[in-house]
Amino acid sequence: FAPSLLDFSEEQNTRRRTFVKIGRINVSIIQGTIAEETVDVIVNSVNRDLDLETGLGSKALADAGGNAIQKECCEKYPNGITKNEVAVTNGGNLKCRKVYHVTLPKWEMNNKQAIETATTNCLTEAHKSCVNSLAFPPFGSGYLNYPDEELTDAMLQSVMNFEQLQHLTRVPIKSIVIVCHSTQNSVF
């Protein structure tokens, strides 16, 4: 990402953190569990069928958030979602108001555009809903095999592009947290 950004790291509460300021948006990359984040929206990378029992991240959110999230997915999106769609559900028992569900294809050379599109689609939905804070997983880092260095750069580039577009609006997104599993040291 652009070298003009303010970038610094620190250790805090045994969770590794990287902070980046992109315009008016504070971005934190942390190690932790996304289901424990207190934000307006938690983003979930899931299969097209919105089956929250598949994938470690989706399952963790379903376990922590309760059955209401899966039930709402089935009721509102009986045919699942397309690759550029954002499914929106309530947060159930999670410490968030909403969960945004998106789907990504498996990694192929030079398809980091899929990460940028998914990130931008979530930011656009958040902006329309006057959301101030979001927590993202590092898209595609699990069974989809996206390289850590590609996904972090793509997500931050999407935030930079989006921030330039929302620059003139009154209700900006203020905070984004990318929550990585404790084994994802190469993301930092």
**pLDDT average per 10 residues of sequence, the chain (188 residues):** 37 62 90 94 95 90 95 97 94 97 84 89 92 91 79 89 72 87 56
pLDDT of residue 35: 94
In a domain, 3, yes or no: no
Indicate which CATH number applies to the domain containing 58: 3.40.220.10
Residue bearing tokens 């990504």: 104
User: Pairing state of beta strands 41-45 and 25-31?
Assistant: unpaired
In a domain, 79, yes or no: yes
Q: 47: closest CA among 92, 90, 77, 91?
A: 77
In a domain, 12, yes or no: no
pTM surpassing 0.85?
yes
Question: How far from chain centre, in Å, is Cα 154?
Answer: 12
Number of domains in the chain: 1
**Residue 150 neighbours by CB distance under 10 Å:** 17
pLDDT of residue 70: 96
pLDDT of residue 171: 59
pLDDT of residue 170: 58
pLDDT of residue 11: 40
In a domain, 4, yes or no: no
Domain hosting 157: range is: 17-180
pLDDT of residue 57: 87
